[in-house]
Structure 1
Amino acid sequence: MCTSQRNEPSRPLRAAGRAVCVGACALLSALAACTMGPDFHEPAASRIGRMERGTPVADLIDAAGGSQRFSADATLPRDWWTTFGSSAIDRVVTDALVANPTLASAQAALRQSEDDVRAGAGVFYPQFDASMSASRQKYSPLRVGSNEPPMLFNLFTLSAQVSYALDIWGGARRSLEALHARSDVQRHALAAAYLTLSANIVNTMIAFAAYGDEIAATREMIALLDEQVSVTRSQVTAGVAAYSAVLTLENERATLEATIPALMQRREQAGNLLAVLSGSLPSQWDAPDLSLRNIALPAQLPRAVSSEVVRQRPDIRQAEAALHVASANIGVATANLFPGVTLTASGGYGNRSMGALLSQNGQAWSVAADVTAPLFHGGTLWFQRRAAIGAYDEARAAYEQVVLAAFEQVADTLRALENDAHALDADARALATSEEALRLLQADYEAGTVGYLSILVADGQRHQARIAWLQGVAQRLQDTVALFAALGGGWYGDEAR
């Protein structure tokens, strides 16, 4: 009697097969979790007691133009320019943040980098492709040794293919990590552009107001000199003064008058710069009517701490992100040294007529696993990894240099604010002294003990002291802007990371 048996492996063999499959899957999972290259860690921020060299800057800086107090609890708001209490400054900065072309360019670069990240993430998904073709061909059987006559036919094909590259060594993951870090570079570059733009506008607005006040004070001095010249001419006519006194006063007047065009030119340049920063043509932008009297000195300033400076400055965050890019690139270059595995599957139909395209006799498919191992590339892959390590070292040094420059800038502005207060105190004393001298001379003039010319001279000295005081006020305001910029402008005040 004949019996038929199924060609089937025994249970032990099936169990062994399952064990092999499970082991293979576990091995692939372990390999897929492997990522070459160093894992990036944020550089540690060194904490120091203070930023400035020598004697620490006092917590309270007091001067005639106002007091400024440094406090560890004070925060720097993102719209820090509002602390100057000027609606004109607020309006110009707001307009510029909307219409400035440099910001628009930085925003476009950020959007591009974010789309690059989304595109790069596609490597973790299977890649599907489909194709369809129609052709007319002439085939000669002589190619295969047959004496049959040539055949002329149509060929229609429909096919699909799927492929998936196993990221065994983490090269794709490191590539995506680098794309994320490049996006961070652009994000911090945008914050730096915001900070630079706002600081430039506030600085320029302060200079614009100071030039206007200096022009007004200089014109008042010229008017006083005109009175002095008139009085002196009367004295010359009366024979109580020499004509050289008139020439001396006219020379002083001409010297003062010559300073006005230069001041007007600087004010015009400041107005043109504000127009461009606001995204407008100079001829299409109206400068605001602004005086230093309309700009308040911020009274509360944040006390700089080293770790906060590192985290809040966009340029430092940008350098850190560039360091992250260089670190991820080491992993990419390292993964390229190892074999790569790609799984592919394809299938389709082919036939001589479109109507019979999907018939079973024209079906074809294939499944494959490709392993590609780099054996010899003339040292290219090895030295590409060495170059990636060198690029990381370069980025690390660049990061450290940016941090040092940031600390230097903060220390400079802290000391500048202290020195500005001392200088402004001296200017205020000189202005007060000149005003008191003028008051006493006016009393003597009313008593008939001095001539009117002495009053005019004293009034001219008072105006000179006032111009010096205006310049001191403007310098203190601009150094306050420099401190806000050195501390990062508050762009990361609401987020620790």
Structure 2
Amino acid sequence: MMRLPIILPLVLCLSACSLQPELRMPPAPVPAHFPVQDLAPASVLPASELGWREMFADPRLQRLIELALENNRDLRLAALSVQAAQSQADIAGAARLPAVGLEGTRARERTLDSGGRSGAGAITQHNGLNVALSAFELDLFGRVRSLSDAAFARYLASQHGRDAAQITLVGAVAEAYFAQRLADEQVQLAEQTQADWNQSLALARLLKQSDQSSSLDVAQAESQVALADAELEAGRRRLLLANNALQLVLGSPLPADLPPAPSLERQPVIAHLPAGLPADLLLNRPDLRQAEQVLVAANADIGAARAAFFPQISLTASFGYASTSLSDLFDPASQVWRFAPQISQPLFQGGRLRAELRLAEIRKSEAIALYERAVQGAFREVADALAGTASFDRQIDAQLRAVTAAEQRLHLSDLRYRAGLDGRLELLDAQRQLQAARQSLLALRGADIANRVALYKALGGGLYARDGQEHAAISAAQ
């Protein structure tokens, strides 16, 4: 007698062959070394292991990053995408196991007798209890397995995508914060410039009243004050826009109890990070691992498309008891079973199967191109940031000397103007030169910090809070 408990172990022991092509990752289409070598000391951790609390020691920025990890909608959507992909992978994996169900039935039926009439004796009753296996596909050619592998690879890709979203978010918060600090300090510089030129205007008017200067000097001073007023209003507008951008990336309003912010000059941001080799990016950047898993999924889809050309064997079976009365339901004589294998072979599909295989192969080629483009983009980001790291320090030193020289010139020009040795134009030119030099120095400091953030993000930093021990992505998702 064929029994279901004997059939199930035999079904589960059947091993399937796989028609997936062997996946060989394409070589990285980038040079073996970055154009600029590492400038970081050996004691500094790699960026992918350096927590953002160590990279950004500013307590105000740390608080903002915490708020963003809790409230940012893009990160929340990425976490939900991971959960959805995990459920899809579970659904695809469940198809590799037989679905066994318990079915219980009880039916009463009234039929006609031989004379075509119904009567009390024509009522029959049927009772049944079965353990059933429904249309389980024997995956002899790996179709179900390939679909499961593809779904699992997409789940891993979604996980890496969520990690990449956090790295992007941490970098975006830092960039928006430093842009806000730069706008704030530019407003402070504009206010200082406005105050200096108001003093210069007052001096020009005093000299005009004592007949030591002309109305032209007063008009020039008034023009400079008006320009300072306009620049101050423009700076305030930039500050408002920077605040709006920061609030958007945080996903919530700025708290009122934030710690005080240090100046850009005193920002405790690590300046130099070890870049390693371009091949390290494949291990350290989640977006590259995401592109790799997308390629793995596309390769598995080819295996499923190939297996669709071969016969599909499905199995339906049941074992249980059937009786006209409940008292005799579990009698050994009431045992029933059913075994119904089915095989189907595609003969004519109008070219659909070949088109699906062709589509799967094209999708794999697309995944390879996307993977290579992602590697090239990562190499470019790191190379650009390293180029900035190598030059910003020297440029800032040179600009500091230019500011010092401009301050000395303004001091001497002011003394000569008060003594009547130089005209108003010489003093105005010295003031403009100092203002431009200070603005350039401030912009350089902002660009230098932005370059440090870009290098940290390009090297895969921002996934951990402290030294790679605390995974903020997991805690934020939970």
TM range (shorter): 0.7 to 0.9
The structural deviation recorded for 1:226 is 0.8
Which of 377, 386, 391 aligns to 2:358? It is: 386
The structural deviation recorded for 1:391 is 1.1
Which of 301, 316, 339 aligns to 1:367? It is: 339
Over 3 Å counting, the alpha-carbon distance change for 1:425 and 1:409 in structure 2 is: same
The structural deviation recorded for 1:384 is 1.3
Which of 215, 218, 223 aligns to 1:246? It is: 218
The residue that corresponds to 2:18 in the other structure is 35
The structural deviation recorded for 1:423 is 4.0
Which of 408, 429, 433 aligns to 2:405? It is: 433
Q: Which amino acid aligns with 2:186?
A: E
The residue that corresponds to 1:273 in the other structure is 245
Asked whether 1:165 is paired with 2:137, we answer yes
Q: Secondary structure at the match of 2:208?
A: helix
Q: Secondary structure at the match of 2:445?
A: helix
The residue that corresponds to 1:16 in the other structure is none
Q: Secondary structure at the match of 1:124?
A: coil
The structural deviation recorded for 1:289 is 4.0
1:389-428: CA deviation from partner (whole Å, max 9, x where unpaired): 1111111111112222222222222334445445434422
Asked whether 1:330 is paired with 2:302, we answer yes
Q: TM-score, normalised on structure 2?
A: 0.83
The structural deviation recorded for 1:70 is 7.1
Q: Is the 8 A contact 1:212 1:267 kept in 2?
A: yes
1:283-329: CA deviation from partner (whole Å, max 9, x where unpaired): x6666643313413523321341101232222211111111110001
Q: For 1:121-160, list aligned pairs within 5 A.
A: 121-140=93-112, 147=115, 149-150=117-118, 151-160=122-131
Q: Which amino acid aligns with 1:325?
A: A
Which of 118, 121, 137 aligns to 2:90? It is: 118
1:18-62: CA deviation from partner (whole Å, max 9, x where unpaired): xxxxxxx8x997x7241111133444446734333xxxx3655xx
Q: Which amino acid aligns with 2:128?
A: T
Whole-Å Cα distance in 2 between the matches of residues 289 and 257 of structure 1? 27
Q: Which amino acid aligns with 1:157?
A: G
Which of 163, 168, 172 aligns to 1:200? It is: 172
Q: Which moved more, 1:182-191 or 1:288-297?
A: 288-297
Whole-Å Cα distance in 2 between the matches of residues 430 and 293 of structure 1? 17
Over 3 Å counting, the alpha-carbon distance change for 1:49 and 1:42 in structure 2 is: closer
Whole-Å Cα distance in 1 between the matches of residues 341 and 333 of structure 2? 26
The residue that corresponds to 2:5 in the other structure is none
Q: For 1:190-229, list aligned pairs within 5 A.
A: 190-229=162-201
Whole-Å Cα distance in 1 between the matches of residues 415 and 291 of structure 2? 65
Whole-Å Cα distance in 2 between the matches of residues 28 and 339 of structure 1? 19
Q: Which moved more, 1:348-357 or 1:401-410?
A: 348-357
Whole-Å Cα distance in 1 between the matches of residues 22 and 223 of structure 2? 73
Which of 410, 413, 420 aligns to 2:382? It is: 410
Over 3 Å counting, the alpha-carbon distance change for 1:294 and 1:211 in structure 2 is: same
Q: Which amino acid aligns with 1:93?
A: I
1:180-224: CA deviation from partner (whole Å, max 9, x where unpaired): 101111111111111111111111111111111111111111111
Whole-Å Cα distance in 1 between the matches of residues 319 and 116 of structure 2? 30
Which of 387, 390, 396 aligns to 2:368? It is: 396
1:320-367: CA deviation from partner (whole Å, max 9, x where unpaired): 111111000111111121112233321334444545544566543212
Instruction: Give the alignment's Cα RMSD to 1 decimal.
Output: 3.3
Whole-Å Cα distance in 1 between the matches of residues 356 and 220 of structure 2? 76
Identical aligned residues as a percent? 28
Whole-Å Cα distance in 2 between the matches of residues 211 and 351 of structure 1? 85
Structure 1 gaps, min length 5:
1-24, 61-68
Q: For 1:416-495, list aligned pairs within 5 A.
A: 416-421=388-393, 423-440=395-412, 458=430, 461-489=433-461, 491=463
The structural deviation recorded for 1:95 is 2.4
Q: Secondary structure at the match of 2:320?
A: strand
Q: Is the 8 A contact 1:128 1:160 kept in 2?
A: yes
Q: Which amino acid aligns with 1:114?
A: Q
Whole-Å Cα distance in 1 between the matches of residues 300 and 43 of structure 2? 37
Whole-Å Cα distance in 2 between the matches of residues 458 and 383 of structure 1? 74
Q: Is the 8 A contact 2:130 2:319 kept in 1?
A: yes
Q: Is the 8 A contact 1:271 1:287 kept in 2?
A: no
Q: For 1:227-306, list aligned pairs within 5 A.
A: 227-281=199-253, 289-290=260-261, 291-306=263-278
Whole-Å Cα distance in 2 between the matches of residues 221 and 331 of structure 1? 70
Q: For 1:173-184, list aligned pairs within 5 A.
A: 173-184=145-156
Whole-Å Cα distance in 1 between the matches of residues 361 and 29 of structure 2? 24
Q: Which amino acid aligns with 1:407?
A: F
The structural deviation recorded for 1:110 is 1.1
Whole-Å Cα distance in 2 between the matches of residues 406 and 107 of structure 1? 23
Q: Is the 8 A contact 1:74 1:303 kept in 2?
A: no
Structure 2 gaps, min length 5:
1-9, 470-478
Q: Secondary structure at the match of 2:273?
A: strand
Q: Is the 8 A contact 1:128 1:162 kept in 2?
A: yes
Which of 109, 132, 136 aligns to 2:81? It is: 109
1:222-251: CA deviation from partner (whole Å, max 9, x where unpaired): 111111111111111122222122122111
Q: Secondary structure at the match of 2:95?
A: helix
Q: Is the 8 A contact 2:102 2:130 kept in 1?
A: yes
Asked whether 1:75 is paired with 2:58, we answer no
Q: Which amino acid aligns with 1:252?
A: Q
Q: For 1:2-13, list aligned pairs within 5 A.
A: none
Q: Which amino acid aligns with 2:131?
A: A
Whole-Å Cα distance in 1 between the matches of residues 132 and 25 of structure 2? 42
The residue that corresponds to 2:34 in the other structure is 51
1:429-473: CA deviation from partner (whole Å, max 9, x where unpaired): 220211232454577789x67689777874564343212101111
Q: Is the 8 A contact 2:44 2:273 kept in 1?
A: no
Whole-Å Cα distance in 2 between the matches of residues 180 and 157 of structure 1? 39
Q: Is the 8 A contact 1:337 1:374 kept in 2?
A: yes
The residue that corresponds to 2:7 in the other structure is none
Whole-Å Cα distance in 1 between the matches of residues 381 and 336 of structure 2? 70
Q: Secondary structure at the match of 1:301?
A: coil
The residue that corresponds to 1:7 in the other structure is none
Q: Which moved more, 1:34-43 or 1:76-85?
A: 76-85
